[in-house]
Structure 1
Amino acid sequence: MNEPQKPQRRNLSLPLASVRSVEPDASTGHDSAKETAQRHGFDNVPMPASEVDRLRANQTSEPPRRKRGAGRSMPFSVKLAPATMEYIYEVANSRDIPLAQVIEELVDAHRAAAS
């Protein structure tokens, strides 16, 4: 029988974590740039140098995907019921937020309900 799959948190810092590389072909000697590009699946459409310069000038660096919240420095380890753990992972994965933020929001909701 198949065992139930353990819920896992996606790695937010690696958006392409699920992409696996293929073993490179054992090449002998040095290839030209064109041969290397073709071997790795790049097309070789010519582009004017002015277009390359324009593209480089218009590139902006992207800010980090998320910043760690100030004050999140305390480690927290706990054993949970599988249904509870699955729910927390589901919320974090669907909203693309850290697990700590889900727990903090649950605590805030609990405090608001208690008052």
Structure 2
Amino acid sequence: MTAEAKPQRRSLSGGLGAIRNAPVDSVSNEPSVMPAAVRAGFDTVPVPMGEVEQLRANQIPQVPRRTRGAGRSMPFSLKLRPDTLDYIYSIANGRNIPLAQVIEELVEAHARDAAPGKG
């Protein structure tokens, strides 16, 4: 009787099995000292001397300005509950004043009630 030969599997990696990564001499856990932009060469862009101070000023973090235009020239859109909207309209219609004036008076009343020493 002849012994059956076990089938041999072919290597799926082909010639890739012989490739090995080069051993790393030392593993450093500390981050690179140079920023990525400097390593990539982006720090070498020439800037005119007149623009250097402006570029530095742009890098200083600033609190965003939240001021808007003067008077009642700025649009203000919001969604209110129906009962709140009815209340504002009833005040405006009862006194024959614009909605903006009603809102401004409500804000002033709130500011007076929330003032320090009150409450």
TM range (shorter): 0.3 to 0.5
Instruction: Give TM-score, length-normalised by structure 2.
Output: 0.38
Larger RCO, structures 1/2 (Cα 8 Å, 6+ apart): 1
Instruction: Give TM-score, length-normalised by structure 1.
Output: 0.39
Q: Could you say which structure has the larger radius of gyration?
A: 2
